[in-house]
Structure 1
Amino acid sequence: MLFKAGGAAAAFSLAVSGAAYAAISAGDDEGRSSSGGSFGLIGGESEGQAKASATQKAGSGKIASAQTSTTTVDEPQVHGTVKKETDALPKGETKVETAGVDGLVRTTYEVTTQDGKEISRTPVAQVVVTQKVDEVVLVGTGAQQEAAAQAEQEAAAQAQAQQEAAAQAQAQQEAAAQADGGGEGSGNSAPAPAANPGAGTDPDSAKAIARSMMAGHGWGDSEFSCLENLWTRESSWNYQAENASSGAYGIPQALPGSKMSEVADDWATNPTTQITWGLNYISGRYGTPCSAWAHSESVGWY
């Protein structure tokens, strides 16, 4: 009986061992390899299959990698404007001294894109292709323009007076003859002041001499009224009047006074010489005393 029992136990043990081996063999086919260490049950899901499934599910969304490239861009630089004041131009007038030029800068960028969209741009190199040049504009202050214009006009008047010296001398001789009462006096007739040195040394007698000379220029009383206003403003009809700042002298305020030597050398002391020169100057430059007066009213001098 003991032998039979032992034999039955041995048979049962072999049966269990065979079943276990079958389970292990099945696990090698569906789970990890037998050398991997862990085993799955027959008909169950292995650990490797579970992880593969999870990885596939987690990766169902597409992951795009970033891409890097370079691009070069030309970028303009707008020029500026610089203003400089100058008294060489009339006040308020402007003039371009230097023309402005826009610049050009060439920049190379490193561009990063993902999914076709730019996500960053970094400059890696830059070179100036064209240097910008600022525009320079001169702005006139013109503080000395009036004085310069007056000096220019005076110089032109002096040149004209010199060119007409011969005609002025003849006019002086004719005027002197009229001041003596007319007649047929020759060109060598002495002027009235030679007989009366005090004539013209006061405003009234100076005006009388000037009025007597007006007809020689074809001017009437209306022109004398303008002349009276003009020389009252200039010198108050004082033959010794002198402008301390400019040097203008005499009844007509000749600038310089030595201009009147074209008529006679006694220009500094003889009112008739001064008046003769002054009327000739007005005739040559303005045509009439009223034109000279209008100019004086406009700019303050004639």
Structure 2
Amino acid sequence: MADHRKQTKTLRSLSKRQWTKIAAGALAVVALVGGSAIVVHSHNARQNSLTQVTSYSATDSNALSVSRGTDREDLRGGKAGDTYVTVKINGKNRAVVGSHFTDVKSVLDQGDITLETGDVVKPSLKTKVNESTVITIERADANLETSDAAIGFNTVTKETSDLPKGQQKVESEGQEGVMETTSLVTKAGKKTISSNVFTSFVKKAPVDKVILVGTGSGSSVSSAAANIGSTVPAGEMQQWAHDYLLSNGGSEADFTATVYIISHESGWRVNAQNPSGAYGLPQALPGGKMVSAGADWATNYQTQLKWFWGYCNTTYGSVQGAYNHWLSAHSY
């Protein structure tokens, strides 16, 4: 194993690769500051002393926990044998999941971590890595700043036989959720030179406003659509998702299930980046697996949603199956 304490190097910019664009199209590059640490662990279940990251929810209090793995694909489609990399920046964590890590540079490449002039890296980029390697990157004049933003709630209507036909009643009022974003901010004096998103995830999920609509039938309403309810699309992404599903054989219940899961996983932020390393609307872990749905997976909400529906169909039989699993496990 390499002696990390004796290997220090000052680097010039090593990559021009872009990080991800925020939904409005702004460019954000993930970078690191002083005190950073990346710890590599193996997912190989045959090494009993190590652990495997499992499916999680961005709003689950145990989102960053790990459990004993088995030699199989994980719940998000990752392969056994992958490694996960925990990036620690000023007390904030983000995991990078990848495969075939060979040296320090390969870890940074697969994590889309771009170095800048003046960054100090230990050990050097060509140093071989294993599960015990620790990579530190120091950047001067940069700090992590955290802010919260509101996540809007949806309105869901559900049929009930307990009310006269056509009569409506508010069962529960909606509540906005909270999106927590941590950005790497570089300043010169009081002037901000750059502000790049490091993590952005659902801190508190929104609560839907639920409206009951009477059927006056006198018999219980048992259809899946009635139990899940119909959701009013909010915004361009949800409207597209609604129209796409219905034009491709889906139902209002499928759309409601979609909105519920995505709202809890990412708050409908295309570039949501959970500390565990999951990315995008569906919080794919790692995000790069969404390339199977399109090369623009990092910035295109349509590509991300198509991957999400495909995953739900393959793993749970339908998006409603994934929804039912989410209700019990707070993950999918």
Q: TM-score band (shorter)? A: 0.3 to 0.5
Higher RCO, 1 or 2 (CA under 8 Å, sep at least 6)? 2
Q: Which has the higher helix share?
A: 1
Q: Which has the larger radius of gyration?
A: 1
Q: Which has the higher strand share?
A: 2
| TM-score normalised according to structure 1 size | 0.35
| TM-score normalised according to structure 2 size | 0.32
